[in-house]
Structure 1
Amino acid sequence: MVLGVFRLNGFFLHAADGLTAGSGLTTARWQVLRAVFHEPLTVAGAARNMGLTRQTVQRVADALVAEGLCRYLPNPAHRRAKLLAPTERGLRAIQHLVPRVTAWSEHVLDAVGAKTIRSANDSLQGLLPALLDCQEELLHDARTG
């Protein structure tokens, strides 16, 4: 199962590289920008939602801010952990990808079928919370063998 998930992740990353080609966004920048598209989040919050480390997302977030695609906002809940939010330019960059992503998604749906997509999504929606519930134990076991 794990190797299958790795291969699927590789497939989606390769597809995302194609979808973002010529857009001015990399796959990583698209992912982080998309993570804060609907609401500003701390970098740590975005990283948690994406299943990545804070440091990885921090590097991408800083690049997005430097390029004017995102900005840091004060966080009323935490003095040091600022909120990451898209700028108008960042919102336009994401919206520019929508037609391409929609067409590709429809092609995937036609190729694979709605039932298979639903089944895979349902499986992931059940598997992920179950694994996260015992994450520390499983990661410890993976490190110690």
Structure 2
Amino acid sequence: MKRDPDFPLVRNLVITLFATNGHLIDMGNRLVRPAGLTTAWWQVMGALGYAPAPLTVAQIARNMGLTRQGVQRVVDLLAARGYVALEPNPHHQRARLVALTAHGRAALEAAEGAAAAVDQRIIERIGTERLATALAVLGEMRDLILEELAQSATPSNDPTLSIENEE
């Protein structure tokens, strides 16, 4: 396969995304530490806070591009601290639904409030039009990557696709 001369653009974007993600995690930890959270907790709580209904651990993991095991560990910690509650799932006996509690919603609001000043600086520097373009581009990249992952996964080589593990 012949490489497109613009190939370095993709690679540089990926490297920049990796670096940005690392810095985003560091900044997130600094911002939400006073609320008693970590970036990982905030990420899972945000997934729940912006969802129209409670989600299973597997749904959170898929939506956020995380491992189910990693999300399960965070959910267990959040549940122990009263940020989330595990509810029966009418569609799956073992895969309970994870829902924010009032305490969790308050902590999520505190985290979002702590991030508001940085969010505002990003809007002011980059502008809403460029942010909307970036969001669209990243969404397209995510969709293409998910398509590639789906094409390369088969039940024989990917144990996460077995029926027993599906929530």
- Per the normalisation by structure 2, the TM-score is 0.77
RMSD: 1.7
Classify the secondary structure of the residue corresponding to 1:57. helix
Q: CA deviation at 1:12?
A: 1.3
**What is the distance in 2 between the residues matched to 1:89 and 1:96?**
11
Report % sequence identity: 37
**What is the distance in 1 between the residues matched to 2:25 and 2:110?**
19
In structure 1, list runs of 5 or more residues that go unmatched.
Answer: 141-145
What is the CA deviation profile of residues 65-114 of structure 1, one whole-angstrom value per residue up to 9, with x for unaligned ones?
00111110000000000001111111111112232222221111112222
Partner of residue 63, structure 1 = 77
Q: CA deviation at 1:56?
A: 0.3
What is the CA deviation profile of residues 8-63 of structure 1, one whole-angstrom value per residue up to 9, with x for unaligned ones?
11121122112102111111111111111242100000000010010000000000
**What is the distance in 1 between the residues matched to 2:88 and 2:150?**
32
In structure 2, list runs of 5 or more residues that go unmatched.
Answer: 1-12, 155-167
Residue 100 and residue 66 in structure 1: after superposition, are their counterparts in 2 closer, same or farther (change >3 A)? Answer: same
Q: Does 1:97 align with 2:111?
A: yes
Amino acid at match of 1:100: A
- Per the normalisation by structure 1, the TM-score is 0.88
Partner of residue 130, structure 1 = 144
Q: Does 1:32 align with 2:35?
A: no
**What is the distance in 1 between the residues matched to 2:105 and 2:115?**
15
**What is the distance in 1 between the residues matched to 2:153 and 2:26?**
27
Asked whether the 8 Å contact 2:86–2:96 carries over to 1, the reply is yes
**What is the distance in 2 between the residues matched to 1:110 and 1:124?**
20
Amino acid at match of 1:24: G
Question: What number of residue pairs does the alignment pair up?
Answer: 140
Which segments of structure 1 move beyond 3 Å, counting only runs of 4 or more?
136-140
Select the structure of larger CA radius of gyration: 2
**What is the distance in 1 between the residues matched to 2:152 and 2:120?**
36
